[in-house]
Amino acid sequence: MAAARRQTLAVWKFASCDGCQLSLLDCEDELLLLADRLEIAYFLEASSATVQGSYDISIVEGSITTAHDAERIRDVRSRSRVLITIGACATAGGIQALRNFGDVEEFTSIVYASPDYISTLSTSTPISAHVPVDFELNGCPINKQQLLEVIGAHLAARRPRVRAHSVCVECKRRGTVCVMVAHGTLCLGPVTHAGCGALCPAYDRGCYGCYGPMEAPNTAALSARMAALGSEEVDLVRVYRTFNAGAGAFRDASEAHLPQGPDG
């Protein structure tokens, strides 16, 4: 009897830092085993050998910032049975989504002497704004163990075990003393999606929200608490406007603290 066909995996990059796809190469103990089980059919960072056609699982890193990329993601979707987005760029637009709040022409002229050579959209948007996505894995960067879980789950055709609760739960499980309660340190843990293992509080700093909003976060209550601890409005805008600035709950929370213009 012939062996079952190995499923094919493709890894795609859009606007990003490469860190999330590097997480796959950072699976030093599992990478070769994974390559035995799956056919890595398209992964330019790792190999110049590419298989054209369609793929069982596509892993997508990065956000959409050019008209060409908006077309390219539709092509990737049409050739992928399962499409999984990884990281804050792909799931929320990334740090480059800060342009969504500013003037992209001004941004271009700050960085480049000849802005005419640059073609870019005025926004950085998540993949889900362009095509249907089967699973989103949060994080800036993602947790490589979670990535393995997500790939493994799709190979086994089961639901990935990725919890949507807050970082607070991870602190409790880890036995870390609450940095906000004990030291008055500003912390986004109460509204941030779990997955990192509550790293920052374990290193005596507050969570800065790199895993994006948890399911149904109470940002208003947290903002009030941070204000009571001394945060000014500008701090509250900044704290929600980092790597997941484009995620709905963080975007709304930041806008609640913008200075009111002369027209109210």
Partner 1 sequence: MSEPGERRGRTRVIRTDYLARVEGEGAMYVRLDGRTVAEVKLRIYEPPRFFEALLRGRAFTEAPDITARICGICPVAYQMSSVRAMEDACGVAIDSGPLRDLRRLLYCGEWIESHSLHIYMLHAPDFLGYAGAVEMAREHREIVEQGLQMKKAGNAVMALVGGREVHPINVRVGGFYRAPTRAELSPLVEPLERARETALATVRWAATLPFPDVECAPELVALSDPGAYPIDLGRIVSDGGLDIAPADFDEHIVEEHVEHSNALHARIRERGTYLTGPLARYALASQALRPLALDAAREAGLGPVCRNPFQSIVVRSVELVQACDEALAIIDAYEQPDAPAVEVTPRRAVGHGATEAPRGLLYHRYEIDEDGTILDAKIVPPTSQNQLAIEEDLRAVVERGLDLPDEQLSLRCEQTIRNHDPCISCATHFLTLTVDRG
Shortest reach from residue 251's CB to partner 1, in Å: 15
- Nearer Cβ to partner 1 (67/221): 67
Member of 49, 177, 221, 224 binding partner 1 (CB under 8 A):
49
Residue 206, token pair as written in the block: 């507050």
251 binds partner 1 (CB under 8 A): no
Shortest reach from residue 2's CB to partner 1, in Å: 20
CA atoms within 13 A on the CB side of 26: 13
Decide if 141 contacts 212 (C-beta within 8 A): no
Residue 216, token pair as written in the block: 């149904």
Q: How many CB atoms lie within 10 A of CB 105?
A: 12
96 binds partner 1 (CB under 8 A): yes
CA atoms within 13 A on the CB side of 130: 30
Residue 147, token pair as written in the block: 């990535």
70 binds partner 1 (CB under 8 A): no
259 binds partner 1 (CB under 8 A): no
Member of 6, 7, 35, 149 binding partner 1 (CB under 8 A):
35
User: How far, in Å, CA of 186 to CA of 230, rounded?
Assistant: 9
Q: With CB under 8 A as the contact rule, which of the stretches 149-157, 167-175, 204-212, 256-264 interacts with partner 1?
A: 204-212
User: How far, in Å, CA of 14 to CA of 144, rounded?
Assistant: 19
Shortest reach from residue 87's CB to partner 1, in Å: 9
Report angle CA 80, 135, 59 to the nearest 5 degrees.
Answer: 45
User: How far, in Å, CA of 96 to CA of 219, rounded?
Assistant: 22
Residue 135, token pair as written in the block: 């699973």
Q: With CB under 8 A as the contact rule, which of the stretches 20-28, 74-82, 156-164, 249-257 interacts with partner 1?
A: 20-28
175 binds partner 1 (CB under 8 A): no
Q: Please report, as ranges, the residues that interact with partner 1 according to CB under 8 A.
A: 13-23, 25-26, 28-29, 31-32, 35, 40, 43-50, 65-66, 69, 94-96, 98-99, 102, 104, 106-108, 110-114, 117-118, 120, 140-141, 196, 199-200, 202-205, 208, 210, 235, 238, 242-243
